[in-house]
Chain A
Amino acid sequence: MVWAESVPRVWRERAKKYRLLGGKCPACGSVVYPHRQVCPYCGSEGLQLVELPRKGRVISYTVIRHPPSDFVGKEPYVVAIVELEGGARVLAQLTDVKPEEVREGMEVEAVFRRYREQSPDGIIEYGIKFRPAH
């Protein structure tokens, strides 16, 4: 269940979600995803908007077998921490790969995919998933 269905809530995040827009901290150099105003590591403001590399590797992963209500029927699926080239980390689903084939350290690349529907007749939410890199 999505607690309150909302189109604007999806719309306003679209650039960050579809294009992997991150932030680069002018003070400590950290790169974070998604872009935001303040660096979570050093507190500096004015993070530069950067389009992040679309390749990275799996740092850790899990196989979701008991999903929340808005993903019921899609299990099992893999959720992973992906570290992109340059260091930003993204939490995302892996796709085009069987759960048992996933490994820590696996090279992956970003693809545009469907995530969930807010309700049977609600808005469909899209975003980045990662698949094994070629």
Chain B
Amino acid sequence: MKRVFIVGAGATKVGEHWDRSLRDLAVEALLAAVRDAGIDKRDVQALYVGNMMSGELQGQEHLGALVATWAGMAGVAAFKVEAACASGGAALHQAYLAVASGLYDCVAVVGVEKMTDALPHDVTSALLTAEDQEYVVFTGATFVGLNALVYRMYMSRYGVKQEDVARFAVHCHKMAVNNPYAQFRREVTLEEVMSSPPIADPIRLLECAPVGDGAAALVLCNEDFLKRSPRDVLVEVAGSAVATDILSVHERRDPLAMAGFRKAAEAAMKRAGIEAKDVDVLEVHDAFTVLGVLTLEALGYAPPGKGWQLVAEGQLEPGGEIPTNTMGGLKARGHPVGGTGVYQVFDIVRQLRGEAGANQVEGAEIGLAQNLGGVAGTVAVHVLRRVR
């Protein structure tokens, strides 16, 4: 296996881009990543497009050829990678494999979702294509609702109060204030979160990642190709793993176990030769507050039922024990679904290069990004390491 490096990274701001289409966003991010790498876009040999819902929301598939055409890259090997909300992480995994295998020297990945073209309940329905249509979607459950089932079990089992879990959203908003790419650059108070309307009890509006549009892109290459790039600080993809769990939470023996969290993280960390305690910056898939807290526990940063304490103590902030979602996470940076897994790595790349501005984690060398599809039916984990 060849070593794989991220030599370029680019993104659009996450938000409601009424004036811009899915292809506009993808092309902007992709070209920004190519420029950042300081290479010629014709050097890119393959393109992986992470996206979930273009078929439902735009009636548009075949994104590989579409994006390649509009980016002036027609000719490259290109196709869409879909794994629900983990589409971005799964696409990056494919890009990693393509370079690691030695088949390609330089490839690009772009994660994109354009959600505001559709009405809210149609977006809800489109997101539900990630679940079992015959036996779950049929019941009228929503993704918020499925996470709410987990949330209620979590609070009951460990005697945790909702106020404590909901604090995760407060943290993310505080971080996003300093991220120019974030959808919500403003703080929220715990009182605002707790008094926002319930969407699917117990989950309240301000505990949910927002609907938004955006695209993020990365250029990956092998060691030989690095000579063509002017970059002096490099980021290596030290580990890349994808794991699945039984699709629907109610069928898992323990719906709180989140087996995929550990399985993917352990595989990626083993490949990178690190342990969870070595991670300097963490990106977790906080589509709902409870997922952020559950991840902190699954990765061993806190015992079961105690993840909320790290949030309350400020340990997730730069300078804390485990700086997490330092650019706002899904909650406040935003969650353009197929883009998210790539945005997470884009955020870590900025930290490892020392480009994170006011939220810089001093001396950050190792980052870990966890991207979930469905209620963690798919988990993609990447370990990134600064190499010079």
* Residues of A near any B CB (own CB < 8 A): 1, 3, 9, 13, 32-34, 40-41, 59-72, 74, 77, 79-81, 89-93, 99, 104, 115-116, 125, 127
Given A70-B125, A79-B145, A91-B250, A64 and B198 touching (CB < 8 A)? no
Q: 6 smallest A-B Cβ distances: which pairs?
A: A62-B148, A71-B140, A68-B125, A63-B201, A81-B250, A69-B121
B253 at the interface (CB under 8 A from A): yes
B139:A68 contact, CB within 8 angstroms = no
A91:B141 contact, CB within 8 angstroms = yes
B302 at the interface (CB under 8 A from A): no
A-B contact pairs, 24 of them (CB 8 A): A3-B129, A34-B134, A34-B135, A40-B251, A60-B149, A60-B255, A61-B149, A62-B141, A62-B146, A62-B149, A63-B200, A64-B140, A65-B201, A67-B124, A68-B121, A68-B124, A68-B137, A68-B140, A69-B119, A69-B121, A69-B124, A79-B139, A81-B149, A91-B248
Partner of B125, one of A1, A74, A81: A1
| Chain A nearest Cβ from B61, distance in angstroms | 13
By beta carbon, the residue of chain B nearest A13 is: B134
By beta carbon, the residue of chain B nearest A74 is: B140
B144 at the interface (CB under 8 A from A): yes
Chain B residues whose CB sits within 8 angstroms of the CB of A34 once the complex forms = 134-135
Partner of B120, one of A3, A61, A66: A66
Q: Give the CA-CA distance A74 to B141 in the complex, in Å.
A: 12
Chain A residues whose CB sits within 8 angstroms of the CB of B201 once the complex forms = 62-63, 65, 99
List residues 178-209 of chain B with CB under 8 A from any CB of chain A: 197-203
B306 at the interface (CB under 8 A from A): no
B128 at the interface (CB under 8 A from A): yes
B28 at the interface (CB under 8 A from A): no
A77:B140 contact, CB within 8 angstroms = yes
Chain B residues whose CB sits within 8 angstroms of the CB of A60 once the complex forms = 149-150, 152-153, 156, 255
Q: How many A-B residue pairs have CB under 8 A?
A: 109
Partner of B138, one of A1, A74, A89, A115: A115
A116:B140 contact, CB within 8 angstroms = yes
B152:A62 contact, CB within 8 angstroms = yes
Chain A residues whose CB sits within 8 angstroms of the CB of B197 once the complex forms = 65
| Chain B nearest Cβ from A110, distance in angstroms | 13
Q: Give the CA-CA distance A91 to B135 in the complex, in Å.
A: 7
B356 at the interface (CB under 8 A from A): no
Q: Give the CA-CA distance A116 to B138 in the complex, in Å.
A: 8
Q: Give the CA-CA distance A127 to B139 in the complex, in Å.
A: 9
Q: Give the CA-CA distance A116 to B121 in the complex, in Å.
A: 15
| Chain A nearest Cβ from B189, distance in angstroms | 23
A79:B140 contact, CB within 8 angstroms = yes
Given A3-B56, A71-B140, A64 and B255 touching (CB < 8 A)? no
Interface-centre pick from A3, A32, A90, A91 (highest chain B CB count, 10 A): A91
B355 at the interface (CB under 8 A from A): no
| Chain A nearest Cβ from B88, distance in angstroms | 23
Q: Give the CA-CA distance A1 to B135 in the complex, in Å.
A: 16
Chain B residues whose CB sits within 8 angstroms of the CB of A81 once the complex forms = 149, 249-250, 255
| Chain A nearest Cβ from B140, distance in angstroms | 4
| Chain A nearest Cβ from B201, distance in angstroms | 4
Chain B residues whose CB sits within 8 angstroms of the CB of A67 once the complex forms = 121, 124, 140, 142
B198:A63 contact, CB within 8 angstroms = yes
Given A65-B199, A69-B124, A90 and B250 touching (CB < 8 A)? yes
